[in-house]
Structures are given as structure tokens and as C-alpha cells.
Amino acid sequence: MLVLAIDTSTKIGTVALYDSTEGVIGEINLNVKQNHSDTIMVVIDTLFKLSKKEIKDIDKIAVSSGPGSFTGIRIGVAVAKGLAYSLEKPIVGINELDILAELAGKRTGKIIAMLDARKERVFYAIYRYFDSNLVRESEYLDGEIRDIVKDSSEEILFLGDGAEANKTLITELMGEKAIFNLKSNNIPRSSILAELSLNKEDNLFTLEPFYVNKTQAEREKENQEKLKNTYI
């Protein structure tokens, strides 16, 4: 099975071609100031050319469904759904935090994958390995760093750009109990996304971005509805 994986949930856009038998055929990570909407199709086209594959060869499309950048998530999901529809291929959405957690590398102990939400807030989830299987122990959450790590009595491995952005604060709060991966290991890998998608499938028409919390537009709409109801 040949999978095209697309991840634009963070500032680094990443796409991969992954074969269920051969492994990674090709993977491109792109970190530029342009919006993902300006680059993602160019990167996908380049990936196929370098891999000497054609887009009609793929069997499935995998996409990061978020959380992360609201705009980035929408772009990635829209592109993936458009390709799946036009090529008549199955599609799978995988949570970005689950992708990040796989970077822990079979480490024992508590793992927290984090995506930066600014102002000392992160999107996060808690994981742990049991019998070599990565298990998520929490819901997908949105919270403040101080609340997340308070009263922690064990070492925690922190992953993701949320951990990188808040490393100083986390270290101040936890000291040596805070463990961080190397910077290069905090980058989501679309090849991991592809591998996680192998035995899964979503409904093309119901697959939606996963935000954890509401977008600004959604909050404004909700406030308008509340004001409207006040005067009824």
C-alpha cells in the first residue's frame, strides 16, 4: 500500500510517500515564511518527481487533522480531501499530538506531546508505553503550562514545539524532572503519520479539522448568537 501523507498543522510543512512493504519512499520537510497554501502542492509535486512515482499510484491519503495552526490545519485537510475525492482514494485523519508522541522512541515513563498555543498555553496530551505499545492516557487538551506540570512527582519527557517554546518555564517549575528531546526530534514527521494511517480509514465527507478549542471566527459567531438571544 502506497500512502501520501500531508501535515501542515505546524509552521513546518511535511509530506511523505510511504510504502507498507518498503517503508519511506520519500519525505520533504519545508520551513519557509510563505503560507502552506502557496507551497503545499508544489512540495507534493516535487515529492512525486523525486520519488519517480505518479500521484495515481497512491492507495491512500493520510493527513494531520490537528490541533495546531488553525489556518494550516484547514489547508492540509482541504488539500487531502480534494485529492482523495478526485482520485477516489480512501482518506485518514490522524491527530497531530499522536504523531508527535511517536517521537519518544519507546521511552518508559510519562510523555507529554505539546503544540504551542502562545502565552504559556499549549495543546497537549499525555502518553505512556505499556508492553511496547504507546497509549494515550488523557483527552486532547488545551491548558496552561503551570497547571499541566504542577505537583508532578515523576520525570516527564516533553515533545513538540510547545515544549520548545516553554522550555525555560517548564525547567523552572520542574528542574531535572523535565526531559526534552533534541530540537530536530520535535518536528512532526509525515512518514510517522503515514505509518499510523495504515489500518485506519475515515469518511471523506465527515472528516473535519480538530482544533481542541474554538477558532476566533467560531468564538465571534458564538458571541453574536448569545447577543442575538439576549434580545429575543
Domain boundaries, the chain: 2-95+188-221, 98-186
pTM for this prediction: 0.87
Whether omega for the bond prior to residue 90 falls within 30 degrees of 0, making it cis, is no
SS3 content of the chain, % helix, strand, coil (to 5): 40, 30, 30
Domain covering 2-95+188-221: architecture: 2-Layer Sandwich (3.30)
Distance CA 66, CA 77 (A): 9
Q: Give the per-residue pLDDT at 33.
A: 72
What's at 106, amino acid-wise? Answer: K
**98-186 maps to CATH 3.30.420.40:** yes
Q: Give the per-residue pLDDT at 227.
A: 64
Give 179's strand partners: 157
Check if 2-95+188-221 and 98-186 are the same fold: yes
pLDDT in tens, 5-22: 999 999 889 999 999 999
What SS3 string covers 4-17? EEEECCCCCEEEEE
pLDDT in tens, 207-224: 999 988 654 554 455 556
What's at 218, amino acid-wise? Answer: E
**Residue 148: in which H helix or E strand, if any?**
helix 145-149
State the Cα torsion 220-222-227-232 to the nearest 10°. 150
